[in-house]
Structure 1
Amino acid sequence: MITVEDVEAAAERITGHVVRTPTVPSPGLSALLGAPVTTKLELLQRTGSFKARGATAKLLALDEAERAAGVVAVSGGNHGIAVAVMAGALDIRATVVMPRSAPGRAVELAEAAGASVVLADGMDAAFALVDELRLKGLTLVHPFDDPVVIAAQGTVGLEFAEDAGELTDVLVSIGGGGLIAGVATALRARRPGVRIWGVETEGARAMSAALAVGGPVPVELSSIVSTLSAPSASPLTYEHVGALVTDVLTVTDAEAVRGTLDLAEHAKVWAEPAAGCLLPAARRVLERVGADARLGLVVCGGNATTTDVAAWAKDFGLR
């Protein structure tokens, strides 16, 4: 497992390349949930999500031969954008493999940054194609199964610990688990008493499935939330979550979209359903721990279009 010293080293490495995003109390969310809420606004990060941190750290760690050969990434959206943009900034050639279900906006942004984007029939096929490209000499920038990436994502937790007021419970979305593994490492070191909760959607339960059977297993993906749709957790992320996270909660896609609308109305931020899922989960946390809780929410990204959210809201009958 990584250590807080690894996270601190990652913070030093990526300083100047990424944004120290705002940590702010949210009166609107506090009123909505009935408990004090502080938000870590990673949707204001470069590339629109926390993924810029891990991508930057990995790209900066490449040797000259690896930089010259180029990199490959597999992504449901945000990781691909981050690798494309940060690789372009560092003059490194990047290939990004995405499932056809990835948001069209993510494909457009990755291509606009200069990456070569390849679409595959689902995440399993995307990971398989990446394995083929690695055999051609490209270095993999994995979205979560890499200690360098996890340590850099942990800088979110380091900043949260330094900038937030009192917190009792912090909620973090889970795809493959890289963000929560890093955040939990930093928070457990800096604020040992804080409880950390993971949140997944029911159609992308990679970590919940792993915890249920004692290790990572493939899961069938059906969630609209492509940015959380990892085909499985990894042994590395599973180990961190099992050791450091209080519990992993699951919400429906409809609840995640409703959360996106609530974030826009009450927090005045335009987030994606991968962040919207935190609000229904926060209500469940409050039911379990009591009204004296002081919540922290890692608002992980904002790369969803108004058209996408409106369509999902219509499909789920939300107003």
Structure 2
Amino acid sequence: MIGISDIEAAARLIAPHIVRTPTVASPGLGALLGVPVTVKLELLQRTGSFKARGAAAKLLSLGEAERAAGVVAVSGGNHGVALAAMAAALDVKATVVMPRTAPARSLALAEEAGATLRLTDGMDSAFELVNTLRDEGLTLVHPFDDPVVIAGQGTVGLELAEDADDEPTDVVVSVGGGGLIAGVAAALRARRPGVRVWGVETEGAESMSAALKAGGPVPVPLSSVVTTLSPPAVSRLTYDHVRELVEEVLVVPDREAVRGCLELADHAKVWAEPAAGCLLPAAREIVSRVGPGARIGLVVCGGNTSFGELTDWADRFGLR
């Protein structure tokens, strides 16, 4: 299990390379949900998501031979962008494997940062290709199955614990492979032990929910439009943290995740991707269970979606 000392060490290591993003009250979301809401704005992080933290932590931990070999990552979008940018900043050659369904903006940003981009037909084949490239000698920077990466992501929770003026009773975190929620939950368990941590996935990207039902990681069929939450399976490492530290993982429809993006724009004045939009329908469910005494914390994990993509989804789901 990742400990608070691991997360504090990661925080010191990556501090010169990342942004300490704002943790602020959101009166607009408070009015929408009917309870106080605090937001951790990781969409203002370098490369537009929390992923820069874990990528920086891993790259800075590598030895000379590992750096010289070049690094490789598999990603539904944000991890690849973050690794490409951080590798360029640290003068490490990077290869990023993404499915063709990844957000167009993410594909462009990874390439613009100087990474070699390899595209596959889906996330399953992306994971297969990255394993092949690792076996050929590249250094793997896994998006979630790595304690150094998880400790880096856990610095989000460390900052939330230190910076929230109104301590949340319930913190909501999006779940893809589980690296972010594992790190955040570990940090909050140590720093704010009374806080409940909840996960949220979208239908068709239910790898952690399926693992919790099965008693361990299992492969899942992927169909969600939220490709950044769509690994084919979680890892034993992230599963163990969620099983131990997280209250529950809720599952919401894609339509409600997209609606959440529009509500975040309207009520919080932030431009978020569906991986963050799914927080709002989950928060509504949590408030209905906890009651009016709830104080909600939302980790707004990323904002890497274009106007065209979001309006296309809104049209598809009849939200405009």
Shorter-chain TM-score category?
A: over 0.9
Are residues 1:196 and 2:197 paired?
Answer: yes
* Structure-to-structure mapping, 1:108-257, within 5 angstroms: 108-164=108-164, 165-257=166-258
- Equivalent position SS for 1:310: helix
Please give the secondary structure, in 2, of the residue aligned with 1:297: strand
Partner secondary structure for residue 13 of structure 1: helix
Give the whole-Å Cα distance in 2 for the aligned partners of 1:103 and 1:280: 22
Partner of 2:26: 26
Cα distance between partner residues in 2 of 1:8 and 1:208: 29
Q: Distance in 1 between matches of 2:99 and 2:167?
A: 40
Cα distance in 1 between the residues matched to 2:72 and 2:54: 14
Gaps of 5+ in 1: none
* Percent identity between the two aligned chains: 73
Render the CA deviation track for 1:162-214: whole Å, top value 9, x for unaligned: 00022100000000000000000000100111000000001100000000010
Matches within 5 A, 1:78-89: 78-89=78-89
Q: Summarize deviations over 1:116-145 as a string: whole Å, max 9, x none.
A: 000011111001101111122100000000
For 1:15-54, list aligned pairs within 5 A.
15-54=15-54
Task: Note the alpha carbon deviations across 1:44-65, whole angstroms, 9 max, x for none.
Answer: 0000000000000000011001
- The TM-score, its normalising length taken from structure 2, stands at 0.99
Q: Distance in 1 between matches of 2:128 and 2:230?
A: 16
Count of residues in correspondence between the two structures? 319
Please state how far the C-alpha of 1:112 moved relative to its aligned partner: 0.3
**Cα shift at 1:95:** 0.2
Aligned partner of residue 5 in structure 1, secondary structure: helix
**Matching residue of 1:276:** 277
| Cα offsets for 1:10-60 (capped at 9, x unmatched) | 000101100000000000000000000000000000000000000000000
CA distance in 2, matches of 1:288, 1:315: 31
Regions of 4+ moved over 2 Å: none
5+ residue gaps, structure 2: none
Q: Aligned AA for 1:193?
A: G
Which residue in the other structure is 1:107 paired with? 107
The equivalent of 2:288 in structure 1 is 287
In the TM superposition, what is the alpha-carbon distance from 1:291 to its structure 2 partner?
A: 1.0
Q: In structure 1, what is the Cα distance between the partners aligned to 2:131 and 2:184? A: 28
Equivalent in the alignment of 1:95: 95
Match of 2:66 in 1: 66
Alpha-carbon RMSD across the aligned residues, in angstroms, is: 0.5
Task: Tell me the TM-score normalized by structure 1.
Answer: 1.00
